[in-house]
Chain A
Amino acid sequence: EPEVTQTPSHQVTQMGQEVILRCVPISNHLYFYWYRQILGQKVEFLVSFYNNEISEKSEIFDDQFSVERPDGSNFTLKIRSTKLEDSAMYFCASSHGTRWGDEQFFGPGTRLTVL
């Protein structure tokens, strides 16, 4: 069964450093997403991506965040200058996006720890 994959599973970085989180969505899906979950809090939407551009983004997704689909398979989230409060589990998801009530398929997540 096709699945969303994410790398790395755990990333430790120093405050102020850049990180890139990688995802491989399901191959025939059209919409891609990033969510994050700070420990003990809700899963929060960051951004959605469709047709090679951002289709929706939340207030969390400020100028220090960017997304890219550099080739036909990868979908990346870059954080330019990490802050302590960026420590969270980051989930990538994808969906067909063309049908009412489409489910989103989630990856296993990348745990980001900012020291």
Chain B
Amino acid sequence: GNSVTQMEGPVTLSEEAFLTINCTYTATGYPSLFWYVQYPGEGLQLLLKATKADDKGSNKGFEATYRKETTSFHLEKGSVQVSDSAVYFCALSPSGAGNQFYFGTGTSLTVIP
């Protein structure tokens, strides 16, 4: 079946610290992988995505690499800012188009000045 396991939170970091949020997945076929971010009071926004093995998605200083051999898609940022405080969701979409997304539990990140 399809599922996503995401690092439990909450995570609290000081500004400019390095961030890693772990995400591993189980999927049939060749899924696409996504990170979504939810700021307080807002909906889920796409942060980055990767559609095939070894692809690296990047946006706003965040990166994640699609690792088929370890079935992982860990989110990283070299230097977090207070404005990065949000909940981060890892998700997968099975092969094909128009399929449901499978989400992880979400990881709450708080960055303190």
Contact = CB atoms under 8 A, between A and B. Distances in A.
Interface of A: 4, 6, 30-31, 33, 35, 41-45, 48, 50, 55-56, 58, 91, 93, 95, 97-109
Contact of B51 (A56, A97, A100): A100
A91 B44 contact: yes
A101 B101 contact: no
Given A101-B49, A103-B49, A106-B36, A45 B44 contact: no
A108 B41 contact: yes
A107 to B, nearest CB: 5
Nearest to B42: A108
Given A91-B43, A91-B44, A45 B101 contact: yes
Nearest to B34: A103
A102 B97 contact: yes
A48 B41 CA distance: 24
